[in-house]
A = this chain, B = another copy of it.
């Protein structure tokens, strides 16, 4: 874990935007160590044995099966990956926890959700914020799957606005217990969990407070019916009612009024893990899609040979590859950051908390990008299957339905888009990321005379890297001027913020994809990576289009006349290719590989 912890200038969260990253400094799935590779195989085998054969039962709301599989995952140690050994976990690094989350989530969203809710938001608040007693009492049980956890934040009137909940916690006159009253909604794992993390308000506190509440029906806890849902049919989702539920004061998490902070930090981890949970699901959809396309013959031709289908397979593979690249890059940054903190004497929980919080921007970016990639992947999966895609006897429709939840929970994608930019601006204000100077430099470049040199882009991916550097200037130009224009009122210009966020997201995803590929080209040679190079180019190409559109939209909304013209000129300059990529040829190359290997081969 400590391999890179001694690096001094490891990138801070959000700094990717203003610093160039060397490809040697990114972690890639090709860097998995032996232990991680074994872990990956173990989890894949587990899924193929315990989940895949029962797909149909998962679609038929077999909640007991989910519990059973979770229990088995616990027996294998898979629920305790992130938990320190002293609390009966495996105490593995952040990358390994991502990896398990990735591969265990591929076959059904029901397990992805149950696993995420239990190991993430259900357990983490205790490992991270619990007292020693709380940890000793609860974490070993949760880490082994003897007990299951759930997380009660949302209420009928408090969703995105999580701090506005009405659930109350009232201190008893003897000061020994709190009495909790309120209604929680959409609680994953509610049907079989043993312990709830509950957020409630004490008196008229500004912020809510977190509590560990054991599930005990005799203590005023009751559940609503299972919600009828579009997808994740075997994930238990219920309302939870607390009616004079008595909780000992020792079960308060962190301090009074600290609940909102806990909730938000738990969500940071939840978000990057959710991105991981969208990875193997994409791989599996691509695998099933290409197998079908190779077998299905129409017009005397396997449909995999049609350009329309090749195009889909290539785009699906490219997005999966991109979301892998970015997810593991950020995961390793977090792992390294944790290691640095540990080295300088922080406790495990302190180190972990700060490590993840540092990359909260990246966590939001990944949540949005990976969930949308997954949705598109399943959507094209259906389309490849034609009429069979619409059949519940074929695998695609469930993948599509299950994918839909990832754009809603752990903060909707709208909220995460706004958070990503919002947090970046805050970091800039605090001086943690220097946006001002780079933005000013871009401003000067805009008014200066552009260079007419023709750069040498003969080296592989060099034009792409130069493009990413220019795209960063686009963000700085747009966001910088917007901040100047609106100051703190920028918050009210949500459409502009959303546009800026899309630019940010595309930059991070494209850069991560290119860096992973560059690193692998250096190690394995250009020839061995030609499809990966094509994917990096294809991803970037779309990123340039999206960024051009969003930047234009933003610029025209707040700049007029000469200023607008100057910025639009800058935009043109910063998005200009020297060599226009032939995306149709790129897609063909990628699709050839996918179809000839008859699976997602990257």
**Could you tell me which A residues sit within 8 Å of B by CB distance?**
154, 157-161, 164, 185-186, 227-231, 297-299, 306-311, 382-383, 386-387, 389-393, 397, 400-401, 404-405, 407-409, 412-414, 417-418, 492-499, 545, 549, 552-554, 556-557, 564, 568, 580-585, 587-588
Contacts and interface: CB of A to CB of B under 8 A. Distances in A.
A398 to B, nearest CB: 9
Contacts of A308: 414, 417-418, 494-495, 498
B387 A553 contact: no
A303 to B, nearest CB: 8
Contact of A229 (B390, B401, B584): B390
A185 B413 CA distance: 39
Given A386-B408, A393-B228, A493 B568 contact: no
Contact of A383 (B297, B382, B407): B407
A327 B389 CA distance: 27
**What DSSP secondary structure best describes chain A's contact surface?**
helix
A433 to B, nearest CB: 24
Nearest to A160: B298
A549 B580 CA distance: 12
Nearest to A158: B298
B568 A556 contact: no
B400 A230 contact: yes
Contacts of A400: 230, 404
A552 B568 contact: no
Q: Which of A164, A299, A390, A496 is the most central at the interface, judged by chain B CB atoms within 10 Å of its CB? A: A390
A207 to B, nearest CB: 15
Contact of A307 (B154, B401, B495): B495
Contacts of A309: 414
Nearest to A553: B583
Contact of A299 (B161, B407, B553): B161
Given A383-B407, A383-B408, A392 B557 contact: no
B383 A498 contact: no
B557 A580 contact: no
Nearest to A231: B390
Contacts of A387: 154, 159, 185-186, 408-409
Contacts of A382: 230, 404, 408
Please state the number of chain copies in the assembly.
Answer: 2
Given A307-B498, A391-B227, A404-B390, A552 B580 contact: yes
A584 B299 contact: no
A585 B555 CA distance: 12
A381 to B, nearest CB: 12
A29 to B, nearest CB: 29
Given A387-B408, A584-B553, A161 B495 contact: no
Contacts of A552: 580
A311 B408 CA distance: 17
B585 A229 contact: no
A554 B587 CA distance: 13
Nearest to A301: B161
B545 A557 contact: no
Contacts of A568: 580
Contacts of A564: 580
Nearest to A584: B557
Contacts of A383: 407-408, 412-414
Which 9 A-B pairs rank lowest in CB-CB distance, beginning with the nearest? A307-B494, A228-B392, A230-B397, A557-B584, A161-B298, A308-B414, A307-B495, A495-B584, A556-B580
A393 B554 CA distance: 38
A306 B417 CA distance: 13
Contacts of A408: 382-383, 386-387, 389-390
Nearest to A591: B495
Nearest to A297: B157
Contact of A583 (B160, B418, B556): B556
A399 B590 CA distance: 34
Nearest to A310: B495
A390 B552 CA distance: 33
Contact of A545 (B393, B417, B549): B549
Given A307-B493, A311-B495, 10 more contacts: A307-B494, A307-B498, A308-B495, A309-B414, A310-B494, A311-B498, A383-B412, A400-B404, A495-B584, A545-B545
A14 to B, nearest CB: 21
Nearest to A162: B298
A390 B405 contact: yes
Nearest to A568: B580
29 contacts: A154-B387, A159-B387, A160-B386, A161-B298, A164-B298, A227-B393, A228-B393, A230-B382, A306-B414, A306-B494, A307-B493, A307-B494, A307-B498, A308-B418, A308-B498, A382-B408, A383-B414, A387-B409, A390-B404, A390-B408, A495-B584, A495-B587, A496-B584, A553-B583, A554-B584, A557-B582, A557-B583, A557-B585, A568-B580
